Amino acid sequence: MSRPFATLDVFTDVALAGNPLAIVLDADALDPARMQAIAREFNLSETVFVQTPRDPAHEARLRIFTPAAELPFAGHPTVGTAVFLALRYHRDRLATGDVTVVLDETIGPVTCRVRMRAGVAHARFDLPRLPASSGTTASNTLVAAALDLTVDDIGFGRHVSSVFSSGVAFTFIPLRDREALARARPDLTRWRDAFGEFGAVYLYTDDTASPDHQIRARMFAPNMGIAEDPATGGAVAAFAGVLLHYGDLADGDHAFVIEQGFEMGRPSLIELGLTLRDGRLVSASIGGTAIVVSHGTLELE
């Protein structure tokens, strides 16, 4: 049976940058094994399968797969799919104002606000689950060895290694500068010892290329089929917990722009918004632009 698909570049306002995403439509009849096989075929960091929502008030149900596993939630598929569905089904409304798209993901419903910015569609969503600490990290010696770095490369300011999750757990490793970040290379012989079986690792530094940005990052998840990810919204969602614990943030609203993918030649900009009250994180949001790159048809028997 033929099924339409599209590809987008997410967290960028130009094609052939950002993080590529595949979206497969009319996916109700596909079982998880078939979806996993299609995700391996696209071989992108994530492929989204759009199904009929369980709640008719929602726009669509999403199933999200890496080449190796299904995820309950991910940021760049959420932003990209919200943009794609708004452009496909609500283009007239989008031309005159914001469009709200509710996506039924495994983690729960995710409400996205889509608008046009200088001719490019932009989506922002509130986190369906605020970040929480999700375990402990290995020693800096093990971490440095698994990343082909030195112990002296790890840490800056008050930041130390940590694990947080907003649906998917990430190990966050602070690095002293961009030079150390660029030098990092996964050592697969030591990866499991440092980060566990499916360890997803987010390296970050406050040494950015632009003074308008606050964080520069890279993400590796080789055992999930992602050698390196150009932009990781799910990690940035969990990173809100890092900033809460180590960022010395006052009560009120805070906005961050994260640079990612620059070392890969896929520059991406991810927007993270935080609201704190009485020292607690009460809400957080992820935003970014997306560009439709291709349309096609999967010819599946």
* Catalytic residue positions, numbered: 46
Name which of 115, 126, 108, 128 is nearest 55 in CA terms: 108
Q: Any residues with CB less than 8 A from the CB of 79 and at least 6 apart, and which?
A: 10, 11, 112, 123, 124, 125, 233, 286, 287, 288, 290
274: alpha, beta or left? (left if phi > 0; alpha if psi -120 to 50): beta
Task: Say how many C-beta atoms besides its own lie within 10 A of residue 179's C-beta.
Answer: 11
Task: Classify residue 247 by its DSSP letter.
Answer: S
For the chain, the first-to-last Cα distance in angstroms comes to: 5
Q: What are phi and psi of 262, to 5 degrees?
A: -65, -35
**Count of all residues that appear for the chain in the document:** 301
Instruction: Say whether 224 sits in a helix, a strand or coil.
Output: helix
